Structure formats: C-alpha cells, structure tokens
Amino acid sequence: MSSYQKTTVTATARTELHDLLALTGAEISINSLPAGAGIPFVHAHRQNEEIYGILAGKGKAVIDGENVALAAGDWLRVAPAAKRQFFAAESEGISYLCIQVKANSLEGYTQDDGIIVED
Amino acid sequence: MSSYQKTTVTATARTELHDLLALTGAEISINSLPAGAGIPFVHAHRQNEEIYGILAGKGKAVIDGENVALAAGDWLRVAPAAKRQFFAAESEGISYLCIQVKANSLEGYTQDDGIIVED
C-alpha cells in the first residue's frame, strides 16, 4: 500500500473517508444538515469513542437527554455508551466532522510515538 | 468520567485536544501556519497513522520526498513510517487538522459498531 492517500471532499450531505483513504485506525465522516434538520435516530456505540468537530453553522447534540449547544469551533468527545442525536439549528445549517476510533486504543502519541527524522 | 466533554477552539498556532477532551482513542491537533512558514523538521511515527484535513488556505506536504499539493477540502492519510513535513504556501497560510490514531486499531465502525437506540 502507498505510504499516503489523498482525497478532496466537496460539499455533500455526507462523505465517509474510511474506504476513500484506506484508513485503518479511524472512520471519519464529513456531514452537513440543513437548517431545521436532524439525524432521525438516537444512537450509541459498542466500542467506539466519537469525536465531533463543528466546521460551520450551528445546532445541538442531545447526549443522554442533555442539550449541548454547538457552533463552529466546538469539539466534543462522546463516550461509546452515551446516547446521542444531532440537529441543525432552526435558522441555520451545521457542518461537522465525526471521527470514530476504538476507545482506549491510543498508546503513545506526538513525542511518545513520533520520530524526528531530520531538522 | 462524564459521557461527554466539550471545548471551543479559537484561532491559535496549535491546539491539542487529547487532554482537553480526555480522548482515549486519538490525539487531534488544530494547526495554523502563516504564509511562507513550515514545520521545521521531518517526522515519522512508530505506531500511529495520521490523517490530515485541510480546513482553509493552501500549502503542501512532502511525503517520502514527494510533493503533495494541499488546499481546503483535501484529506490525506499518512502511514506510520512515511517521512513527512508540512508547509504553508508562499502566498497564503494553511489551517489543518492532524488526527493521530494507532494503525490497525479500528475494528467495527458505523453500522458494525453502532446501536440504534430509538427512532
């Protein structure tokens, strides 16, 4: 397999990167909901931690029954078992990333996993 | 631990989310380089796959000696052992996400890991 894969994401309702980039440690989706729209179901996960990053617009998450306001620049970690549902605001759409990773899978990172090759 | 953590990221050179959000499966950083700037070293990883998402601006990565042009909307997976270095364009800065995950750590995802609680 090549040492890298690249793709360009254009505006669509949902783009899933796992297969496009041959990811092995995460699934990443780029999602957009128009004003007034919401994901039509509540979901949880068996093993996966989800991290949501709000790219534009605003909306809310409902997590275990609690309303969490979301706007561009917000980042949210959701534990696997938490029950979650996402909505755009009534007046404005929302674009967000959803990053799925296996909870507790990360060992070292940054300086503890990186190797400086040359400087 | 709470079932969720939230933070708001404002414009800085680098924000690291691992500790802010108590992440257990990834480290995520939000990075900005001004026009003409670059990361001053080449690096690789022991275990971690990196996924880069370009949020704004343009620049390039050099991966194992190959130039890869980058602009807003581009997503890039880099294998652990690949030697990488990132640069903003001479005329324009670049803002990007870097997501570190342990290679081959993801098991099921989306429908294979998700549980629909109610709809």
| Interchain CB contact of A67 with B (< 8 Å) | no
Check whether A11 has a pLDDT greater than 80. no
Cα–Cα distances in angstroms (integers) from residue A63 to residues A50, B5, B60, B94, in the given order: 12, 11, 38, 33
% pLDDT > 70, chain A: 98
Interface test with B, best of A101, A115, A118 (most B CBs within 10 A): A101
Check whether B2 has a pLDDT greater than 90. no
Across chain A, mean pLDDT equals 95
Within-domain flag for A68:
yes
Within-domain flag for B22:
no
Within-domain flag for B109:
no
CB A68 within 8 A of CB A76: yes
From B64, which residue of chain A is nearest by alpha-carbon distance? Answer: A3
Q: What is the pLDDT of residue B22?
A: 97
Within-domain flag for B23:
no
Within-domain flag for A91:
yes
Higher pLDDT, B11 or A71: A71
Q: What is the CATH number of the domain that holds B79?
A: 2.60.120.10
Within-domain flag for B24:
no
| Contact: B78, A4; criterion CB under 8 Å | yes
The whole-angstrom separation of Cα B57 and Cα A107 is: 32
Of B41, B58, B46, B68, the closest CA to residue B92 belongs to B58
Which structural domain range is residue B73 located in?
29-104
pTM: 0.94
| Contact: B77, A4; criterion CB under 8 Å | yes
Within-domain flag for B7:
no
From A82, which residue of chain B is nearest by alpha-carbon distance? Answer: B3
> Per residue in B54-108, pLDDT tens?
999 999 999 999 999 999 999 999 999 999 999 999 999 999 999 999 999 999 9
The whole-angstrom separation of Cα A20 and Cα A6 is: 8
Site of tokens 């617009």: A57
Within-domain flag for B91:
yes
In this predicted structure, which of A44-48, A114-118, B51-55, B71-75 has the lowest mean pLDDT?
Answer: A114-118
The tally of domains found in chain B comes to 1
> Per residue in A65-94, pLDDT tens?
999 999 999 999 999 999 999 999 999 999
H-helix or E-strand spanning residue B16: strand B14-16
What's the pLDDT band for B118 if we cut at 50, 70, 90? confident
| Contact: A40, B110; criterion CB under 8 Å | no
Interface test with A, best of B9, B46, B75 (most A CBs within 10 A): B75
- Kindly report the number of other CB atoms within 10 A of residue B65's CB atom: 7
> Per residue in B42-56, pLDDT tens?
999 999 999 999 999
